[in-house]
Structure 1
Amino acid sequence: MKRIYNYLGGLLIVLVTLVACKKNILHPSEGGIPLATDIDISINVDQDINQVTFTMNNKGVYPVWIFEGQGKNAYSTINKFTKIYNTAGTYTVEVKIGNANGISDGSITKTFTINNSLVDFDKYIGLLAGNESKKWSIARLEKGHLGCGPSGTDGLEWWSAVPNDKADWGLYDDILTFTNDMKYTYNPGEGGTVYVNTGSTLFSEHNPHNEVDFMAPVPEQTTSYNFIGEGEDVFLTFPAQTLFPYIANDESYNAPKYKVVGISPNKIELVSDNGTIAWHYILSAEGETKIGGYDPDNNCNLWKTADFTNEFYYAPGWNEIADPDFTANGNSYHIKLPEATFERWQAQVAFKTNISTNAATNYDFSTILYSSKDIKNVTVKLVKNGGGENDNIFLFEEQVDLKANETYTFIRTNLPGIDIDVVKLVLDFGGNPAGTTVDVSRIVLKENSCNDGTIIEEPEEDNVNWLPDSDCNKWKTVAYTNFLYYAPGHTPIANPVIEANGNQYKVILPTETYGQWQAQVHFKTSNISTQSTKTYDFRCVLNSTKNLNGVTIKLTKVDDDSIFFFTKNTNLEAYKDYVFKMPAMPGLDIENINLVFDFGGNPANTEVTIRNIILKESTCNQ
C-alpha cells in the first residue's frame, strides 16, 4: 500500500498549498489529524445490480476507501462512492479518514456480501436503453463529469471537471443513443466534432501539436455495445474505433472498454483505465426531460433533515403478505415487489415524517420515480398522518403511469398549505406485475418562498387542437344523466343544483362537506364510447368561487369504477381558471364513459363551474 499512501501524501501537500493561497492561512497540525476511531460509515448493497454505495457520515472530512483485488490496490477519496461487483462473495473495504491536517494512521475494515454473480445483464440494458432506446450525454452540471487520476483509482484524483468546465470544446452536445437490441449511435452534435486528448496519435491531421486538446470533425456513427464481466468488475464495451465524447488516448478508441462504477436510470459513471492513467466519465439521461425537480441537497428541502418511519401494506387480492423489501440510501429508496397486485392500495409504502405544514404557507414538492416494469395509476399522496378522516386532509393525491425502465419526474408547485402536524408521504404501486422493483429518489418538500435556485420550466405545448366546438369533440353531442352524492360527514342530504348551459355546468354546493367523495357529480353518458386500439385527449376548465383542495377528476366506465382512464386530484384557487388536460391517453374498451367530479371538502356556499369539456380521438384534428 506504500504507493497509495505516498500519493495521498502528495495530494495533501497540494490541498495545503491551495489553502495557503487564501487570506485565511490554514497551518496543518498533527494534532488536528482525525482518528480512525471516529470513522462512521454506511455501506449499502443493491443486490439487484450488484452495486455498492460507500458513504462516510462524518462531517468536515473525506474518506479514503481502499480495495484489494486483481493484483493491485484500488482506492477512492470520494464520498458516496459506488462500485459494482461482477461475482458473488464476501468483500472488504479498508477506510481511513482525512482532513486538511492529514490522514489517519489507523483505519477500520468492513465486510459486505454480494449474494449473486451476474449471469446476464438485462437490468443493465434496461437502465441504459429503456424500453426501446435512450439518449445520454456528458453530465455537464455534475462535478467530476470528466476527470483523470492514477491507474487503479476512480479517475478523479489528478483533475476533476467543474460544471460546464469544457463548454467551449464541443463536448456537451454529443448525443449517445443506446437501444435495447444492443445498438449504439454516436452523434457529434451541432459542431460535428469529437474532443481528443492532445497526447493521442489519432486524428493527427487536426492536432495543432501545441500540447492542447483539440476537436476533430467526425460523422455520426452507429455500431454496437455490450456488457461483460471480468473478475470483480463489469465493463461496457464497444467494437474497435468506436467514437465517444472524449477520446482520452489511443486505447480508448482502438479497444473501447469502460468499467461501470455506478449506474442508475439517469446517471452512469464509467472509468477507462489503460494501466497508466484512469479517466472518469459521467453520463446523464436527464437531458431528455426539461423538468428535473427541485434540488434535494439545498437547505430549503425539509426532507433533507427529516426523520421518518416506514409503514407498509402489501396485500395481493387483499390478502396481506410480508412487507416488500425496502432499502434506503440517503435520499434514494429501493423497493422490491416480488408478488403481483391487482388493484389500487394493495402495494402501499408510506413515509411517516416529523415534517409539519401550515395553512399560511404554500409549498413545492418533487420526486423521481423509476420502475423496472410498467405500472399504471401509481398513487402519490402527501397527507396528514393518522388514517380515517385524516386521509382526506392532503396537499395532493395524484395518480401517474410508470413505464418500464423510464424515469418519471413528479412535480407540484405552489401548493396551498394545510395545517398538518405530521406529514406522511404515501406511495401506492397497486397493480404492479410480479418481480417489479421501484426506485424513489430526490424527494423534496419545501416552502414555495424558499428559492433553491431551481427553474421549473413549463412543459412544451402538447400540440393538440383543443376546440370545444370541433366535430372531433365527442362531448359536443353528448347525452348523459347526472348521478349525485351530496353527503356531509357521509350523511346524504338534498342533491346540489346543477345549471347546464351548453358545454358549461354550474354546481351549487350550499352545505359544507369535510372529506373526499362527499360531493360527487357524475356525468353518465349514453353515447360516448372508446376503443383500446385508439388514443384520446381530454380537457376541461374548472373555476370555483372559493378555495377547494383535493378536487377529484375521474374518467371511468359507467357503473364500473375499476376501469378508468385516470383519477386526478387538484386544488382550485378561488375565481381562478384551472385548465385540466390529459393528452394522448391509451384507449380502453368502454361502451359508455362516465365523467366524475368530486368536490368533497368544499366550504359552504361554494359554486364550481365546469366548462369546455373535450374528449376526442388524438388523430382527429378537424
Structure 2
Amino acid sequence: MKAHLNKLILLLLLATGFTSCQVEDPELGPAPTEEQVKFSATPSSDNANIITFKNESGPVNRAVWDLGNGQTGAGDQITGTFPLSGDYVVTLTIYTSGGSASKTQTLKIAQTKPEMLDRPDYNFLTGGGSNIAGKTWVIEKDFPGHLGVGPASSSTPEWYTAGPNEKKDLGFYDDEMTFTLSNNLAYTYVNNGTTFANGANAAGLDGGGAGDDRTVAYTPPANMKWSISEEGGKQYLSISGGGFIAYYTGMSKYEILKLNETELYLKAADKANPANAWYLRLAPKGYTRPVVEKPLKTANLMDRFDATGTIPWRADAIVFKNNFDNPFPQGLYTVAKVGYYQRLPGEANQYGNLQTTLDYRLDLSSRNKFKMMVFFPGGNEYPAVKQQVAVKLQNSLAGGNAWQTQKEVIQQVPELNKWVELTFDFSSISSVTMYDQIVIQPGGEGHQTPGIFYLGLFELQ
C-alpha cells in the first residue's frame, strides 16, 4: 500500500512539472573558430564598386559586418558602396550558441568613381568635390532641440529637448565634426580635449560607473571614416573605429532625419537603454539660422473641453480626459461634458500641467484676460494640494527653458465642491509679443501630492 502511494505521489509531481527544475539546460555548442567564418564578396554586374557580401559560414544566430569604409550592419547579406579606390579591411563576426568568431578579408577597389560621390546627400554633408578641406559641422547650440531624448520607437524627442545654450561649459558646444570626400571619406572629430557623454554610457569613455551625464577627457581616434547607407527605407550615417558625433551614447550609427545645406538632424540609439533614442541637431560652422517669427495674431481662443474646442492641448505628466461627464452640472456650469485633470503622485510629476503651443504669437494689446470655470472636489488633500489655478504664458522657442520666459497669474479657488469662475488678467504685459504657449496648472506645483480637478470653459476675452 505504501509503495502504491509513493508511486502515485511521484506521478502527481511529474504531472505538475515539479521535476522540471531538475532538468539541466542543454549544453552550449562548441565555440566557432576563425576557420568556420566564411563570406563571399560579389561586385554588382553594372558597377564594380558596389559589393554584396554574403555569409557563407552556415547557420548562425547572428552575423555582424564591418565593411572597413565606416559602414556596419547585421544579417546574412549586406551591400557596401566603395566609391574610392583603395584597400578595405572587411570583418565578419558570427555568433552561435557557443560564442563568436571573426574573420577579415582585404577588399581591393581598383578605381575611383567620381560619379558615385556626386550625389546630394554627400554634397550636403561634405560641401562637394570642390571642397577639398571638407565641411565642418557643430552642434546648433542656440536653437531649441539641439539635444533631445525620446522613445526609440518615435521620430521626435518626446521626453526632453534642450533649450538654447542650455549645455554650455560641458565640453559639447566647442566640438567640430568635419566630413570630407577625400582620403576615403575621412571623418575628423576635434573636441579640444573633452567630450560630453550620456551618463549610462559614459563608462565606455572614462571607465567610471553609470550616473549623470558628464564631461569626460577623451582623445578621438585618428583615421576615422564615414559612410551613408540605406536600410529599410531609412538612411544611416556611420562612423568607423568606434567614433561618434559630439555626444556619446555608446553608438557609432545615426539615423538621418534631415540633411540639407544648413541642417544635419540625427537620431542615435542608446547602448545602455535600448528603449531610448537621442537626437542631435547640427549646423555648418559659422552658420546663423535666420530668425523666423510666428505671426502676431489676435484670435478667438475658447474651449469647453467637450470635444468641440479647437485648442490642441497636450498633457505633461498628468492624466487628462476631454469630454468627461460633469460631476456637478448645477450652479454656474450646467453643461454635460467637461475636462478631467488628474495630478499624479511622485517626484517626476510634481510640475505636471496641461499646455498648448499655438502656431502664432498672442497679440495681447486688446484681449488679455482669460476666463475659466473650475471645479475642485473636497476629497483632495488640502492644503498639500494648493487650492489654486495658475495660467502661464511662455515662449516656446526657448525650448526646455520656456518656463524662464513665462508670465504667471495665480488665482485662488474660493469654494470647493462647486463650479467657480476665475479670471486671469495679463493686461500688465499687453505690449509683450513673444508668447505662443499657454500652460494651465491646477493644484500648485513643486509637491508630490495627487489630486483631481475638473475644467470647464476656458476663453480669451
Q: What TM-score do you get using the length of structure 1 for normalisation?
A: 0.26
In terms of fraction of residues, the more strand-rich structure is: 1
Instruction: Return the index of the structure with the highest Cα Rg.
Output: 2
Quick one: higher RCO (CA 8 Å, sep 6+), 1 or 2? Answer: 2
